[in-house]
Amino acid sequence: MVQISDLSQYEEQQVTLKGWVATRRTGGKIAFITLRDGSGYVECVIDLQNVSEEEFEAAKRITQESSIILTGMVIKNERQSGGYELQVKKIEVVHIAEEFPLGKKEHGPDFLLNHRHLWLRSKKQWAILRIRNQLKMSIHHFFQDRGFIQTDSPILTGNAAEGTSDLFGTEFYKEGVEAYLSQSGQLYAEATAMAMGKVYTFGPCFRAEKSVTPRHLSEFWMIEPEMAFYDLDMDMDLIEDFIRFIITDVFEKCQTELKALDRDTFLFEHIHKPFPRITYEEAVDIIRGEREVNGKNAITVQEEDLAAVEAKLTVTKAEIEETEVLLKGNMKKGKRNYLQSKVDKLKKELKQLEEDARNIPLWIESSKNFPRGEDFGAPNERVLTRLFDTPVMVYKWPRAIKAFYMKRYPDDPEYIKGVDVLAPEGFGEVVGGSEREDDLEVLLASIRAHNLPEEVFQWYTDLRRYGSVPHSGFGLGFERTVMWITGAKHIRQTIPFPRYYGRLFP
């Protein structure tokens, strides 16, 4: 069976393709079908001269998403998206699809999510899932090439890794014995690192996030490397190499998919530059507009953004009005369709501009009044990264707002050796990492201070009793990264079947 992605090997040859009808158009004596088979899309031309009358009639009745088998000649055609078209000689219908719920018109997010099992077939979702697949391979490639051992942490656990607030609990056989779905594989990865040296996990994590945001899922995947004898600086060097490698690798291998998503190439053009490393306190200064970055001030930049948005709003509104006046006149069908789709596009842009015009003043306020000592919210991360064109690494965080296992700075114990990596363009935190507390007494004190039950951490503290070593690691949010690379507006589009507050189906 020939795959559409392999058509370049079959130029001027006859092939048989099996797939589904993505779109179709018919004229009097000619019909066009865009066939998709999962590996790609190809335009198929059905000319009455090349097929029987019977087959041509059948082709005209074929509906969107019907499954068919087409045999024909592969012809080079630069104007087609894949560079080839199929001149059909034979059509076999496998199944005529009922009217497809996701037809041409635009649908709201709830409708699409209720039909996720079918929405997956659309070109953008297809492209995102293929990038997800490549990203997974690139991640394994990076670590396997560097002597890391892939290991697995349990999903059912008896202790909380990241604090107790967002746990999914369940009963473990016996009444009163609670188990939790793992929020992170880290603690177990630490134990494995003491056995294997350098390890990484790649598994599902569960967090009961009782709010719906564009960046949170209840079930997501995380990559968690853990390295014995690494301090925070080595950890940050590794994170930087890792992110640069996976972004570059996916960019090289997923050109077709990125084009299908209209992803602009800004990210990929700048990713080779060093990632700035700034402390939490420096980041706060920048967010509050008390410190400049390359001559840019966070507050002024946002005020300029707002002015630009408002100017664009006026222009867009005028353009919509003008086009709508034109549409009232008489014109050919082609011209009307063109103008109508122009209006639709402008209206979509207008909606986004209006949203920005509402949000930016709120962001400016949250920037100016940022309370030193607190964790960053999405608008703060957005502002901070707005001033750079690469990811930004923020390290040396206040101990009070970070997890119990992070190592304190010996000479500045109110701060811990942790790092968050923030992606530009509003995608926000993609990595959280740290050097781990390797001193038994300090760690025990921290467990108590966080009101965590000491007994269940007995095994974890053992790692500090038997050959304790400095060690570090980090967690990369897999869906956050897919979102960033693909430019998806919502994390829900980055996983085949998203789970989040309010959604368990399909």
Q: Interface with ligand 4AD by CB under 6 A: which residues?
A: 161-162, 184, 186, 207, 209, 216-217, 220, 222, 224, 429-434, 473-475, 477, 479-480
Question: Which of ligand 4AD, Mg ion, none binds 384 (CB below 5-8 Å, type-dependent)?
Answer: none
Rg, Å, the chain Cα set: 27
* AA identity, residue 67: S
* AA identity, residue 439: D
Question: Which of ligand 4AD, Mg ion, none binds 220 (CB below 5-8 Å, type-dependent)?
Answer: ligand 4AD
Which residue lies nearer to Mg ion by CB, 284 or 360? 284
Beta carbon of residue 429, minimum distance to Mg ion (angstroms, whole number):
6
Question: Which of ligand 4AD, Mg ion, none binds 217 (CB below 5-8 Å, type-dependent)?
Answer: ligand 4AD
Beta carbon of residue 392, minimum distance to Mg ion (angstroms, whole number):
14
Nearest CA to 135 out of 58, 220, 249, 54 is that of 249
* Residues contacting 131, CB < 8 A, separation 6+: 250, 254, 257, 258, 482, 485, 486
What is the spatial distance between Cα 453 and Cα 160, in angstroms, rounded to a whole number?
10
Dmax over CA atoms of the chain, in Å, equals 85
433 scored as a contact of Mg ion (CB under 5 A): no
Which residue lies nearer to ligand 4AD by CB, 162 or 240? 162
Which residue lies nearer to Mg ion by CB, 197 or 398? 398
Beta carbon of residue 450, minimum distance to ligand 4AD (angstroms, whole number):
14
Which residue has its beta carbon closest to Mg ion? 432
3-state secondary structure 384-432: HHHCCCCCEEEEEEEHHHCCCCECEECCEEEEEEEEEEEECCCCEEEEE
Q: Are 424 and 390 in contact (CB under 8 A)?
A: yes
Single out the segment in contact with Mg ion by CB under 5 A; choices: 60-68, 242-250, 312-320, 431-439.
Answer: 431-439
Question: Which of ligand 4AD, Mg ion, none binds 289 (CB below 5-8 Å, type-dependent)?
Answer: none
Question: Which of Mg ion, ligand 4AD, none binds 19 (CB below 5-8 Å, type-dependent)?
Answer: none
Q: Which of 185, 203, 432, 498 binds Mg ion (CB under 5 A)?
A: 432
185 scored as a contact of Mg ion (CB under 5 A): no
- Measured CA to CA in angstroms, residue 200 lies from 80, 144, 224, 243 at distances of 42, 10, 5, 15
Which residue lies nearer to ligand 4AD by CB, 205 or 254? 205
Cα torsion at 488, 489, 492, 496 (round to 10°)?
Answer: -20
Strands (E), 229-317: 277-279
Which residue lies nearer to Mg ion by CB, 203 or 432? 432
Task: Please measure the distance between the N-terminal and C-terminal CA atoms of the chain and give it in whole angstroms.
Answer: 31
Which residue lies nearer to Mg ion by CB, 47 or 375? 375
